[in-house]
Structure 1
Amino acid sequence: MPRYLVGIDNGSQSSKVTVFDETGEVVASGRCPLRPYSTPRPGVVEHPGDDLWESIGTASRAALADFVEQGGDPGDIVGVGLCTIRFCRAMLRADGSLAAPVLSWMDDRLGRAYEHLDESVARVTTSSGYITHRLTGEFRDTSANYQGQWPIDVDTWQWSGDDAVLRRYGLSRDQLFDLVAPGELLGHVTASAAATTGLPTGLPVIATANDKAVEALGSGLASPSTLLISLGTYITSMTIGEASRPDAVDFWSNFASVPGEYLYESGGIRRGMWTVSWFRDLLGPAERADAEAAGESVEERLGREAALVPPGSDGLLTVLDWLAPAEAVWRRGSILGFDGRQSRAHLYRSILEAIAYTMKQKADAMAQELAVTFDRVVVSGGGSVSPLLTQIISDVFGLPVDRPATTDGAGLGAAICAAVGLGVRPGFDEAQAAMVRVSDTFRPHPDRREVYSAFVELHADVTAATDPVYERLAAVPA
């Protein structure tokens, strides 16, 4: 009998639900964009209403309808892997309903311990804990989605047993969910959740990890000598290891999707692929309509034009600080070096090059601290569909870059966790080897290496020159 696995990938911009076969092939899918964040005052960034659950329901119904339309039998689906956005906080009433909107990872309150200001709040959890409850009715969550202001022991992957530690985070044990490891059972789809999602009642729901770790698993990250660059709303680079490194300076340790392993993450770009979308949208609806009439997207058109621009964009340098970091709230993004030669293609290429320059600097710092040498890069996320960006990364890093067959690494990683938890595959290594495939490999052009090495060095020095200007600009009355 055929066996199918559902991967739920609730990301920063949309919820995606995909039905995979047991070899990792996409059989059916559905997607629902998230609504714009609610930002009623500075520092507050919330998911409006019940947007996370509603978007998952819409995407899941679309995926199941697609599956059935292709002749699939929902009875052949054996389980669900659940992956949601990390660094969110959900405050729930005793019945599991939302007492307040879910806090986005961009909300300033996530950098502080929980403050119990609402007596109706009985439980405090992550986005995955909340969605687990909506799917299964259980107050259970994956331990691998707790990073930041949570009283978790990073060595045991369990709650601290020290009441003083819990109090330091503003929490008590009865407010927290029970924890399970990636690949373990969270619960079963309730009749109510089945009505919302179209998933069969009673279907097992399997724990995964945080969205970046699940994406890494589904993209094929399996060796400390491999660097994964996640090209999403937040761009970061990652590798894996066997121990938490809490004292690291140029990277931080996160739970991986394999129990007992850790994901090492470099610094990143907080509005990474968002900046690409911002530039695309500046061109307006007429450009979109014209591109669609020609059978291409605006990004494809811009990529085709930018491929004709020489490396270095004729001296144009972009710095991707479109969202200022907390330690330098006055910082802004920059596009420097205009001299009349540049076109929109130069601007576009410069943005893509800035992504590669920034991640090269951050990945090099992480590699040096880890005392490793990367011999291969893997790209994942929506930005990996761009052949130009992938080639630029290969040229800047001077390494081969593999592009997986699916851009939804988190969805496939969730399905891999489900496959392991349900015995479809005997273990994570075997599941990853059987279900992740490389679509194509980009190799560096040697003649571009010298140019890009010089630009990486220049790019690293730009903020030292612009920071004083932006700090003075922030002090000017608006």
Structure 2
Amino acid sequence: MKKKYIIGVDGGSQSSKVVIFDLEGNIICEGKEPLKPMSLPEPGIVEHPEDDLWDSIVVASKKAMDSFTGEVEDIIGMGLCTIRFCRVLLKEDGTLAQPAMSWMDRRVSRPYEHVNPSVKYVTTTSGYITHRFSGEFNDTAANYQGMWPMNTDTWQWIEDEDEFNQFNIPREMLFNLQMPGTILGYVTEEAAEATGIPMGIPVVATANDKAVEALGAGLLGENTALISLGTYIASMVPGHENPKGTTHFWTNFASTPNNYLYESNGIRRGMWTVSWFKDILGEDIVYKAEVLGISPEEYLNRQAKEVPAGSDGLMTVLDWLAPANEPYKKGLMIGFDGRHTGAHMYRSILEAIALTMKNRVDEMCSELNIELENIIISGGGSNSELFMQIFTDVFGLPARRNVVNGSASLGSAICVAVAVGEYDSYERAIEKMVKIRDGFQPKEENTHLYKRMNDEVFKDITKYTDEILKKSYPIFN
């Protein structure tokens, strides 16, 4: 029987990945290209420089196609996943009118202002990249959260004109909305020449990056939470209703039609903080890792594994990026004494991520009145056995990771497999394409220590540290 292949595109916050899968979810080959540093022309303005979102996908696509050894005519479709909460302004021909606005840009949280006369369309990153591949002005409905005139019940534009007009985007500037798992268009000759991806294959709608990642992680059960370890760390559980006015979570579109994901509050610059700490250590850590023939991350994990749970009292507060309404917040490490080393600091960051997400997940589950039975960890951080064990100890629940841990690309492929009829349901596609790598069980003594540490100290630590930071903020800002 002839093999068939699917391309999954994952346009992330730090890099673009293009992965080619078979119908069993096995990675055949992939290409990856890092994004350029954000452009920060003035306070509050955060842009992707030049045409970096598309250019990085072009490079990653060429890398993937250059290493593909199968028959090109056996590639049956492409699923497209990109960053959420961004805003992209296009000219009439679909090219950029100005650099794409990052989710960190203050303008994306405000109604659109038509100050650039060359702007003809206002869309998302997925709408823009879909147009670059297909030439169509179509987009997935499931990537419109935030400041968009979107009816989250109907997955269509708001019909009431007064409510619609509050967003200040004329209807003719918006793309046509399609549901996840539908065909948005077909790869054009121009896009094929630029990327190497075969002309004429369908471009399939997915959703926003977190939702596609959840699909690719196999998240369908309502008693399982996914912890997504990305630049922004979030936790999600699936659901079928669209509750409003919630306190400890918000409702996101799922990557399956008419379903939702309940997403807790998260950690801004989450895994970025891990990378920041590694970079702080500089060339010394790189050299030591090279001597052992391992990556710098693995070197740090080996060192931190020797540190006891709780990092001998060293605790980290992960406010490396302050929210707009609390600009005084800063990252902290507190509790140093003579025992502490760089390994303690590294482990303390990992523990802070797990403890913070434990509190966020507990708040969400309490409001939803659900009790978790297990957790899934996805993202590059799940490669660390130490990090996986910390998570399962902090949560006191079994944790698992999958073979494909950067699961947004696999989620994109699953959407294609359903859209083109290779599988008759998302459940069947997940069963065939998502493979569990391994699982972890909590260590009782560590779970007990983390619970006490969290309940007695960590959960309320910012009530005290924020008061100091409020006083220092006027001095240094």
TM-score (normalizing by structure 2): 0.99
User: How far off its partner does 1:449 sit?
Assistant: 1.7
Q: Is the aligned partner of 1:198 residue 2:196?
A: yes
Q: Is the aligned partner of 1:330 residue 2:314?
A: no
AA of the residue aligned to 2:166: R
User: How far off its partner does 1:350 sit?
Assistant: 0.4
User: Which segment drifts farther, 410-419 or 239-248?
Assistant: 239-248
Q: Secondary structure at the match of 1:86?
A: coil
Q: Secondary structure at the match of 1:141?
A: strand
Task: Give the alignment of 1:124-273 within 5 angstroms.
Answer: 124-273=122-271
In 2: Cα distance, 1:76 partner to 1:182 partner:
23
In 2: Cα distance, 1:326 partner to 1:194 partner:
41
Which runs of at least 4 in structure 1 moved beyond 2 Å after TM superposition?
A: none
AA of the residue aligned to 1:421: A
AA of the residue aligned to 2:375: V
| Counterpart in the other structure of 2:403 | 405
Q: Deviations along 1:365-416, whole A, 9 cap, x unmatched?
A: 0000000000010000111111111100000000000101112210000000
Unaligned runs of 5+ in 2: none
AA of the residue aligned to 2:132: R
AA of the residue aligned to 2:474: A
AA of the residue aligned to 2:124: T
Q: Secondary structure at the match of 1:248?
A: coil
User: How far off its partner does 1:276 sit?
Assistant: 0.5
| Counterpart in the other structure of 2:469 | 470
Q: Secondary structure at the match of 2:243?
A: coil
In 1: Cα distance, 2:425 partner to 2:348 partner:
42
Q: Percent identity among equivalent residues?
A: 52
Q: Is the aligned partner of 1:383 residue 2:381?
A: yes
AA of the residue aligned to 1:311: A
Q: Secondary structure at the match of 1:476?
A: helix
Q: Secondary structure at the match of 2:67?
A: helix
| Counterpart in the other structure of 2:66 | 65
Q: Secondary structure at the match of 1:475?
A: helix
Q: Secondary structure at the match of 2:475?
A: coil
User: How far off its partner does 1:119 sit?
Assistant: 1.4
RMSD: 0.8
User: Which segment drifts farther, 455-464 or 51-60?
Assistant: 455-464
Q: Secondary structure at the match of 2:77?
A: strand
| Counterpart in the other structure of 1:77 | 75
Q: Deviations along 1:242-298, whole A, 9 cap, x unmatched?
A: 011221100000000000110100000001111110111111123213312321111
AA of the residue aligned to 1:265: E
Q: Secondary structure at the match of 2:204?
A: strand
Q: Secondary structure at the match of 1:326?
A: coil
Q: Is the aligned partner of 1:43 residue 2:11?
A: no
| Counterpart in the other structure of 2:370 | 372
Q: Deviations along 1:414-451, whole A, 9 cap, x unmatched?
A: 00001000111111111111100110001000111211
In 2: Cα distance, 1:12 partner to 1:295 partner:
29
In 2: Cα distance, 1:191 partner to 1:101 partner:
25
In 1: Cα distance, 2:454 partner to 2:124 partner:
37
| Counterpart in the other structure of 2:27 | 26
User: How far off its partner does 1:477 sit?
Assistant: 5.1
In 2: Cα distance, 1:439 partner to 1:404 partner:
4
TM-score (normalizing by structure 1): 0.98
In 1: Cα distance, 2:446 partner to 2:84 partner:
37
AA of the residue aligned to 2:119: V
In 2: Cα distance, 1:287 partner to 1:469 partner:
33
In 2: Cα distance, 1:218 partner to 1:376 partner:
17
User: How far off its partner does 1:166 sit?
Assistant: 2.3
AA of the residue aligned to 2:419: G
AA of the residue aligned to 1:251: F
User: How far off its partner does 1:163 sit?
Assistant: 2.0
User: How far off its partner does 1:38 sit?
Assistant: 0.2
Q: Is the aligned partner of 1:438 residue 2:436?
A: yes
In 1: Cα distance, 2:274 partner to 2:453 partner:
20
User: Which segment drifts farther, 463-472 or 209-218?
Assistant: 463-472
| Counterpart in the other structure of 1:420 | 418
In 2: Cα distance, 1:147 partner to 1:317 partner:
34
